[in-house]
Structure formats: C-alpha cells, structure tokens
Amino acid sequence: MIRCSSQLLRTLEGIAEFVKDYVQKSKLSRLFLSGTKEEYLKKFEDDLDKCLALFSLSLKFNTLSISASSRRVLGSYQDELRTTIDSAQRTQEDLLKASVMKEDVTGGRFPSVLPPAPQIFFGRDELVAEVVDAMTSENAAENSKRTASHVVLLGAGGMGKTSLALTVLHRPKVSSYFGTYRYFVPCESLLDADALVIHLGKRFGIPIPTTISVQARQRHFESHLKRVLSILDKPIIIVLDNFETPWEAASSRPGVEGLLQALVDIPQVNLLLTMRGAERPSGVAWHRPFLAPLPSLDISSAKRTFVSISDVPEDDADLPELLAALENVPLAVTLMANLAQGLNCRDLLQQWREERTSMLTRGWDSRTSSVDVSIQVSLSSERLRSNPSSLPILQILSLLPDGALPEDLVAMSEDPSTVPGAITSLRQVALVQQGTCPQGNFLPRLRSLSPIREFIKAHHPVSVPSFLPVAKHFLTLIESVDIERHVFENVERLRDMRTQMTNLCVVISHGFSQHVLIKDLVRAAINLQLFSDDATPGLIYTLLQTALHASKEISDRELEAACLAPLYENMGAADMKQYLQLLEEALEIYKKENFQSLTSRRDHIRCLRNYGDTWRRIGELYRAREVLQEALTIATSHGFRKEQAELWALLSSIYSELEQMNETREAAYQAIAIAESCSFPLIKGRAYSTLSQLYFKRASFSLSAEFAQKAAEIKLAITGRSHTYAIDIFFMAWIYFRQSRLNLAEQTFREAREIFARCGLKDWMTVVNVAMGKMRLERGDVTGAMTDFHLSFRQWTELSWPREQAACLTAMGEAELIRGNPITAWTHFTEARKLFRAGNECGSTRDAEAMIGLADVAIVQGRPEDAMSHLIVACVIFRKASDRLYLAIIVKKMGDVQLRLREWIVARACYLAAYEVFQHLDVKKSLADVLVSLGDLNAVDGHRAEAKVDWQRALHLYSENPSRVKECEEKIAALDQERAGDFIRNK
C-alpha cells in the first residue's frame, strides 16, 4: 500500500513539474513543443491511470486483510469470554454442590450413617481416652492452620479394634469436636486403591468418571474432595476400618499409600485406621507416641464382658479357667459368652477341650462371627504367603504357650537361616506378639495367643521331623540344670526352665501322642516334678499319668515304677488310702523285678521315702520311721549321698512329731552336713525347716525365725515362690502370731495362702484358713473365725483326715467358749479327742490343747477339780515336748482354778510364775492375759492401785486386739467407780 502511494505521488509530482516548466516557456517555444506536449500528456494520463489502478487494488487488499484480522480478534475475544463464563459457571456449580453437601451433612440427610457404639465394651478406657485426646487436641488457634491427627489401631484379629474405633467416634468429646463430620468407612471388601477411591467418592457425593484412567480417577477424587472440604468450617474425622484389605497386596500398596498421603494433605481431614497386624502404612506422619498393638483384655474386663453377654454368675467357679483357656481374646470371649446362654461354664470348658476354636462361631463365616475365619484371614495375608518359612515357626510356637526367645526358635528350627525373616512376617500380621516372662527379669519371648495356637494345631499340625528338634531342645534344657542331683550352678538356666514349665509339659505330651522319644520323655516328666509349683496346678500330675500310660504301652516296668513315686508327690489333697495303694503298687514292682541299675535303685529309695512320709501323715509315726530307716540303709550301701541327706531330713521331722528332741536335732544336722559337703541346697533348706519347727515347739521363737528365714531364702533362690517356700513363711507367720504381731502375721498368712492357691494345694490352703480363723478369734471376730473353722472342717471331712478334723474342732470349741456356750464347747473338745485317738495322735501336743479346752469349760462351769485333772495331764505332755510356752499357759490356767477356789496366795504364785516365762519368751498376748488375771486378783484382794496398773499394762499389750482392749477399759472404769470387786465377781 505504501509503495503504491509513493508511486502515485511521484507521478503527480512529474505532472506538476511539466506544467510549471510549460507555463514558463515563450509562445514560440510552446509552438515548437505542441507535438511533444501531446505525447507528455498521454504519458502522464497513462501513468496516472496505472497508479490509481494499483492504489485501488492495494487498497482493496488492505481492506480485506484488515477485515480478516478484525474477525480473528473478535473470535479471540469471544473465546475468552466463553471460557470466562464457563469457569464462572463451574465455580458456581461447585459452590452449589458444596453447599448442598454441607446442608445434607448438617441436616442428617447425607448417606454416611455411623454404626452404633458397642454396648458391651470393657477394659479399654485408658486407650480410648488416649485416642480421643489425640484426635481432638488443638495445636493451633485457627482450624485453617491446625495440624490434623492421624492414628492407627493395630492388633491381631478379634482384638476389638473396630469396637474401639466406634467407641472413640461416639465419645462426647469427639462428637462435640467434629459434630456431624464423622465418617466410618468399612474397607474389608475394597481390594485396591481404585476401589477405595470409588467408594469414598460415593460416600462424599463426588462422581468418579469410569472412562478415565485409574490415576486420573484418583486425581479427580483428590482435587474435588479438597475443593469441597476447603469450605467447611470444622475438621472431619474418617475411620478406615479393616484398612489392611486394600493395603495388604504389594501391587496396590503404593497407590493406597499415595491416596492416604493425598487425604492427609487436606488440613481438615483426621484419619483413624484400624488394621490387622503390627505394621503401619508409610508416608504419613502418624500421631506419636505410636499406640502398641491391642493386647487381650485383663481378667476383670473379660469377666465383665462374658457375664454381660451370658448372664453367667460372676462367681462361677469354672469361669476363670474358661477365660484363661481363651487368653481373654475379646472375639473369643464374646463368642463363648453367646454359647454360655444355653450351656454352663463347666460344659463349655469340656467342649473346648474337645473342639477348641471350631466351637467359637455364631453359625456363619465372617471374621467377626468365627474365630477360625478370623485367624484364617491373617494366615491368608500376602505378607505371610510371601514367606513360606513363617508357617513352620508358627507351628513350633503352637506347642509353646510360654513362648520362645528368637535364639531358641533358631535352635528348634530345621532351617535356622529362615527364622529371622519368618519372625518378621509373623509379627507384621500380629500372629505372634512379644510376651513377658512370669518370673524374674528376663527378655520377653515371642508367643501366639491360645486361639491361634489351637487353630494351628488343629489345621496345620507340626510334622514329626519338625517336632524332633523342638523335643531335643527341651530335653537338653532339663538335663542342663541337673535336677536329679539338685545342684544348680547355672541359676539363669534354672530360671529359664522354671518359666517354661508349660512349654515343657506341652512338648512332652505332644511327644507321647506322636510316639517319639518315649523313654527320654518319660524320664523328663519324672524330673519335672521338682518344679511342679511353677506349672499350672494339676498339669504335672496329668503329664505323669500320661507318662505312666506310655511306659505301660512299651512294657517298660522300670519306667512304670519310676512314674508312681512322683505321681504321689503331685496328687495333692486326697484320701491317704489312695497314697498307700499307689506307692505299694510301685514297691511290688521293685520287689518282683529286682532292677539292678543305679537309676532304678534311686527310684526305689524315692518310693520308700514317700511311703514313709505317707505313714507319717496318717499318724503311724513308728511305722514311718521303720520305712525311712530301711530306705536309709539302701542309700548308704550304694553311697547315694543325696538320698541319704533327704532321708535324714525327713527322719528329723518324724522324730520331731515323736517329741524326740535330741534325735530331731541329730537327724537334721546329719542332713545339713551331707547337703553342705555335696552341695544339695534344697535338702539343707528342708533340714532348716525342721529345726525351725523344733524351736517353735520349744517357744524359742528367735531361733525358730532364724532357721525359717534361712530355709525360705534357699528355696526362694532355687524354686521361687513354691509351696515349700510357702510352708516356711507360714511358720514365720505363726511366730509373728505367738509374738502378738497380728498385722504382720495376717499379711504373711495371706502371702502363704496365695502361693498354696496358685499351686493348687487345697490341704495347705485349709491349714492356713484355720490359722486365719484363730487370728480372727484373737481379734474378737468370733463369727468370722467360726466361718473359717466350719469351712476347714468340711474340707478335712471330705479328705478323711481325722487329725486335722480334730484340730478344727478344738478351735471351734475355743470360739464357742468365748461366745458363752460352754456345753457346745465341751462337745467340740470331746469329739476332737476322739478323732485324735482315731488318727493315732492320742497324747500329742494337739491332743493336749483339746484337754486345755476341757479345763477351760470346767473352770467356767465351776468344776475346779476336773479342770485341774485336765491341766495336769496336758502339763505332762507339754513337758515331754519341752514346750515352755504351753507349760506357762497351763500354769496360768492353774492360777485361774485357784482364783475360783479363793486360794489367793496359790493363784498369785501361779500368775507370777507364768508371768516370768511369758516375759522371757516375749509373747505379748499371753503376758497381757496374765496381767489381766493379776489385776483381777488385786482388785478382789482390795489392792486397787496395783490392779489398775496391771490392767493398764495389759491394755497397752493388747494394742492389736480391740475386744480385749475394751475389756480392760471396762475394768478400769469399774475400778474408778469403786465397783471393781462386784464387777469381777459378776464376771
């Protein structure tokens, strides 16, 4: 266009110059140029036409170009406008959707409905509070800046993770904090990240296109959820229940963890995951400190759960054993409680022994209604299936209720190199957990819970080749502590064995059932007897019965006889005839077969020792002495030092009961000498126990306490809190009782009773109950004392132990006398003496105690001559036994008889003599008793000041006996009112 314009301008300038030059010429010149002028004009006309034509054409082209450019600009403006309008419309639609969502949520119309909180939920209060605090903690002033909390609840199947999460969602603090923005999303049917995205999209009203890729769907959901939640004015909490389902597969794990990371990037979102196993998804800043995998319920909570579902009485005798069999696993407890709506606990326990976990179902197969299905879900985990070596380790652990250390599992495995990886896999899915040892400060062991163990034994039992290394490992453990000689140099190894008694019993029983290593396992069962207190009551006895049966099956008479003596030692409370029958069967085998091996000779001596002890318990002390002396002769002839020491220790107790004090000391020190020279600490402790009882009878309480303390320390160091240790502290409690240290005595009696109860020794528990009854009687609680005495008497009657029945009747007579029932008391004392005679204990110190009771009745009834007769006979018996305390008590009671006879001088002499002995022995209660009697004598004799001093001193000594304190206070008050003489005569 510019070029055309320039050309036109030049043409016009050329015409202008020609005209100007033509005008300036003369006419003549113009005449000569006329022809030329026409040519120029023609040329100018042509140039002008050409320029105008070109200019017009260029102008048209420029117009067309401008028009096209204008159309393009207009189209661009229109596109931009359309884009802006579309964006505004989309924003408006999103705002409208978010507004509708908010209204639906707050109005309760949103399709996310929370399941109800569990109505029966016990034992997790502290954990619930911890999770609630974690989810609702305010760590910033503004919600937009608040850091959300994310928590994972881990644990084995059936531990109550879902119930815990629902409880948290419904807690008032969580409800108030999150309002209606609480969502529960079950994931058990969602197999991967895409399924989870689609499900969450439905829950939050976000349509997920199906025509785009998986990654695009996830990005679509994340962006829309973030945009929707950005307008909310409160945080939200999302529970992803059973999250292990989408997360489990290795192929889908990155996508699932990526989705979690996207969710936690949204400031308002708080996540609470429940997952089977012990492993958390990565990529998320989980709340710290991490929560440990959920354990089983404590016994109290398990009992409350069971009772709430089943309506079984809380004091059902079989309920604790039933819950212990289930190890308080919540799902197992719940399913068993449902069964208990139609069956009692005893029947269920029997059914459990037969059917195990297969009975724990509600009739349909789901992880929440069947224990077997729940366990199978864990076994089907990809983490477990990817490591085939995990199952053999789980099979080994199914035989070990006490668990095992990793290094022990390596020793028991056929392929030790695979053990570390197998343990890792099992811990990841929570099929094993880190347990604790019941005694001592040991490393925690790996163990499986009871339902898991029973399921594995039923559906995936360990093979014989895999079992053999396990059996040999425990046989080596038993041999390493040298039980047979009672030498324990390796204390740590000993303690390790004591904490694995259940493991040992289960492994040995399994070996019997598989018919492998029978002879070795029978010997192992026999050797375990020494530590029976560390096993469940009755477990060793059952094992020995199985060993006896196995010995008979292989026709090994030597092993058969060897099993009978330890069976006696583990029978517990039973009729003495059963003891004799068992031991006589063994002695008949030894007599008939005449085994020559040294092991068999030792077993024979062990049997004779138990046979003599049985006659001692029956009361045939001389027969017992003969049997033990026969055994001692055999032991001495073969040089069996351990057996000699054991027999001397037992003989010393026989001599003690025969009131042969010198022989008792000699036998005990013989046992101590051998034990010290050959390092037999337990036998030494047994001899110390006998010496303690000897000095107790002689009222040498300081010496008695010293020996009892030595014996207890030895036994505690070797056998732990065993029944033999409990016997020693039981006698310590009696010493405290005699010294009127009633609070300490009661505490020690209770400790002993707890140990006897744990060991399942009903006879010794009953002995302690009688002692506790006397404690109550001493404190004035006659009703409580009579309850203890009656319960104990019933137990002794069931066992047919007449001597112990007699001792109970003596105690009941004392209580009836305090109640003011002398006739009933006389009946009890008389019957007691009859039973002592039936039990070959006539003329013993306990028989003499019943005589003292008869003397007390005679004093109350005003028969002083009868009272003196009983007291004199009792005095002779206690003099023979060198029992200074009871001799002084008898002298004091003789003073009471003389007081009744108004023989003031004789009565005072008796009281003062008894007072000197009591003061020397430092027995406060007896000292106070004689001071009261001296006060009574002084008051009647008119010595008011001396009487008041005596009663005040007695009042101080009776500090732990409220009833006697009250009696002294009444006497002092009466004395102050100058009515003492009348008061005493009336009393």
The string of DSSP letters for 85-139 reads HHHHHHHHHHHHHHHHHHHHHHHT-SS--PPPPPSS--S-HHHHHHHHHHHH---
DSSP assignment of 368-406 equals TTBHHHHHHHHHT-HHHHT-TTHHHHHHHHTT-TT-B-H
150-155 β-sheet, strand order: 150-155, 269-276, 236-241, 182-186
pLDDT of the residue at 573: 62
Residues 715-733 have a mean pLDDT of 88
Instruction: Give the span between the Cα atoms of 681 and 701, in whole angstroms.
Output: 24
The per-residue pLDDT for range 569-580, each reduced to its tens digit, is 877 666 677 888
- What is the band of 2 on the pLDDT scale with cuts at 50, 70, 90? low
The per-residue pLDDT for range 636-673, each reduced to its tens digit, is 999 999 999 999 999 999 998 888 888 999 999 999 99
pLDDT of 734 above 60: yes
Q: Any idea which of 66-80, 289-303, 530-544 has the lowest mean pLDDT?
A: 66-80
Task: Please report where in the chains the tokens 């209204």 appear, as a residue.
Answer: 103
pLDDT of 190 above 80: yes
Q: Any idea which of 39-53, 84-98, 216-230 has the lowest mean pLDDT?
A: 84-98
Instruction: Give the span between the Cα atoms of 631 and 642, in whole angstroms.
Output: 12
pLDDT of 635 above 90: yes
pLDDT of 406 above 80: yes
pLDDT of 484 above 50: no
pLDDT of 107 above 70: no
Q: Which of these CATH numbers, 3.40.50.170, 1.10.10.10, 3.40.1360.10, 2.40.30.170, describes 381-459?
A: 1.10.10.10
Q: Any idea which of 40-54, 353-367, 414-428, 672-686 has the lowest mean pLDDT?
A: 40-54
pLDDT of the residue at 211: 79
Q: What are phi and psi of 159, to 5 degrees?
A: -90, -5
Question: Which SS3 state, helix, strand or coil, does residue 273 take?
Answer: strand
Give which of 713, 711, 704, 710 is closest to 734, Cα–Cα: 704
Q: Any idea which of 374-378, 789-793, 839-843, 902-906 has the lowest mean pLDDT?
A: 839-843
Task: Please report where in the chains the tokens 């004789």 appear, as a residue.
Answer: 906
Instruction: Give the span between the Cα atoms of 680 and 748, in whole angstroms.
Output: 27
pLDDT of the residue at 142: 43
pLDDT of the residue at 620: 86
- What is the band of 567 on the pLDDT scale with cuts at 50, 70, 90? confident
Helix, strand and coil in the chain, % to nearest 5: 70, 5, 25
- What is the band of 434 on the pLDDT scale with cuts at 50, 70, 90? confident
Cβ-contact 701, 672 below 8 angstroms: no
733: left (phi over 0), alpha (psi -120 to 50) or beta: alpha
Q: Give first-to-last CA distance, the chain, whole Å.
A: 150
Handedness of CA 984, 985, 986, 987 (dihedral sign): positive
Task: Please report where in the chains the tokens 């400190």 appear, as a residue.
Answer: 289
Residue ranges with strand state E in 744-881: none
Residues 189-203 have a mean pLDDT of 89
Residues 117-144 have a mean pLDDT of 81
Task: Please report where in the chains the tokens 């597969």 appear, as a residue.
Answer: 249
Is CATH 3.40.50.300 the classification given to domain 124-138+145-276? yes
Residues 264-280 have a mean pLDDT of 92
| Better-predicted residue by pLDDT, 297 or 480 | 297
Instruction: Give the span between the Cα atoms of 696 and 774, in whole angstroms.
Output: 17
**Percent of the chain residues past pLDDT 90, beyond the cut:** 49
As a whole number, the mean pLDDT across the chain is 85
| Better-predicted residue by pLDDT, 755 or 697 | 755
Instruction: Kindly compute the dihedral angle of the four CA atoms of residues 686, 692, 698, 702, in this order, to the nearest 10 degrees.
Output: 170
Instruction: Give the span between the Cα atoms of 571 and 538, in whole angstroms.
Output: 8
**Percent of the chain residues past pLDDT 70, beyond the cut:** 86
- What is the band of 37 on the pLDDT scale with cuts at 50, 70, 90? low
Amino acid at 428: Q
| Better-predicted residue by pLDDT, 105 or 448 | 448
Residues 326-342 have a mean pLDDT of 92
- What is the band of 482 on the pLDDT scale with cuts at 50, 70, 90? low
Find the farthest-apart pair of alpha carbons in the chain and give their distance in angstroms, rounded. Answer: 204
pLDDT of 932 above 60: yes
Work out the number of other CB atoms within 10 angstroms of the CB of residue 748.
Answer: 22
pLDDT of the residue at 30: 53
pLDDT of the residue at 859: 92
| Better-predicted residue by pLDDT, 254 or 962 | 254
| Better-predicted residue by pLDDT, 227 or 476 | 476
